Each structure stands twice: as structure tokens, then as C-alpha cells.
């Protein structure tokens, strides 16, 4: 399943920091600087885009682990670029080295692991979780 994904494969994603991407959007008492959750999302997107062209038909990748250090604050208006580079592949798991840089410096670093899964099976599992057993339907009436 991961035959075409190789160590060293890279993906990159760039955004401009907007007020919605800052920690102040969650708590207006905090400064309007790029939030850690927003940085992690951009790292995940860079990794996902690196893998996407190599996934088998009907498969997607999902994030399963992050280990990230947020090193510096980035204000609204600056651009942030995240790079994800494949470190290793184990069965259906792909581990990336990730880093984020703003226009001046390194702002984040760490690792991120994604799992390759069959989309139809994943959706079926979600649907089954959402259905209550017949006995629960009757007791809730």
C-alpha cells in the first residue's frame, strides 16, 4: 500500500496569519499571534498533500500522532510555511519530520504520523457508531 511513498518525499503548505488563526480568536485577553493548533493543522495539511498523489484509489490518510514544539510567536499578516518530509514508513503508517517558518525564523518543529486507510471502510465504521441498537431505540421512546 505504501510502495510509492519513500523517505525524503516532501510537502509544503503556506498561509497568511489572519485574526481567525490566532490564539486571541479563542480568548480575547491573549495576544493576536498564530496559535499552536493552527500551526499543527498546517503541518498536517503539508504532510497530507505530500502523500496524496501516492495513495491507492479509495484510500485517504488521517493524522494519528503529533509531537510538536511551538518555538516563536508570529503576528497577523505574516506568512507561515510548513514543510513535511517523510522519515519512515511502517505498514500503513507514515512518519514525517515537520517544521514551520514565518518570514523571519523557525517557529515550530516536530514529528507527525499519518495512517493510510480505506475511505469506504472508515465511513462505514462511522455510520455503524452512529446507529443505536434496536433495543435503545425502543427504550428512548
Residues designated as active site: 36, 44, 70
Question: Closest Cα partner for 85 from 2, 3, 11, 14?
Answer: 11
Mean pLDDT by 10 residues, the chain (141 residues): 84 98 95 97 97 94 98 98 97 97 98 96 88 54 43
What pLDDT does 132 receive? 59
Is the CB of residue 86 less than 8 Å from the CB of residue 50?
Answer: yes
Beta-carbon contacts of 80 under 8 Å, excluding residues fewer than 6 positions away, are 14, 15, 16, 17, 34, 39, 42, 74, 100, 101, 102, 107
What pLDDT does 141 receive? 43
Q: Which three cell numbers stand for residue 55?
A: 495513495
Amino acid at each position: 500500500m505504501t510502495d510509492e511513498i519513500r523517505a525524503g518525499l516532501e510537502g509544503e503548505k503556506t498561509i497568511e496569519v489572519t485574526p481567525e488563526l490566532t490564539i486571541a480568536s479563542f480568548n480575547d485577553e491573549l495576544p493576536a499571534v498564530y496559535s499552536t493548533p493552527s500551526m499543527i493543522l498546517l503541518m498536517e495539511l503539508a504532510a497530507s498533500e505530500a502523500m496524496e498523489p501516492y495513495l491507492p484509489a479509495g484510500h485517504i490518510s488521517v493524522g494519528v500522532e503529533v509531537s510538536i514544539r511551538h518555538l516563536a510567536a508570529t503576528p497577523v499578516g505574516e506568512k507561515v510555511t510548513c514543510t513535511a518530509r517523510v522519515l519512515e514508513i511502517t505498514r500503513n503508517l507514515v512518519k514525517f519530520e515537520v517544521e514551520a517558518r514565518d518570514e523571519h525564523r523557525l517557529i515550530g518543529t516536530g514529528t507527525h504520523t499519518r495512517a493510510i486507510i480505506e475511505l469506504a471502510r472508515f465511513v462505514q465504521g462511522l455510520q455503524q457508531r452512529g446507529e443505536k441498537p434496536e433495543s435503545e431505540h425502543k427504550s428512548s421512546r
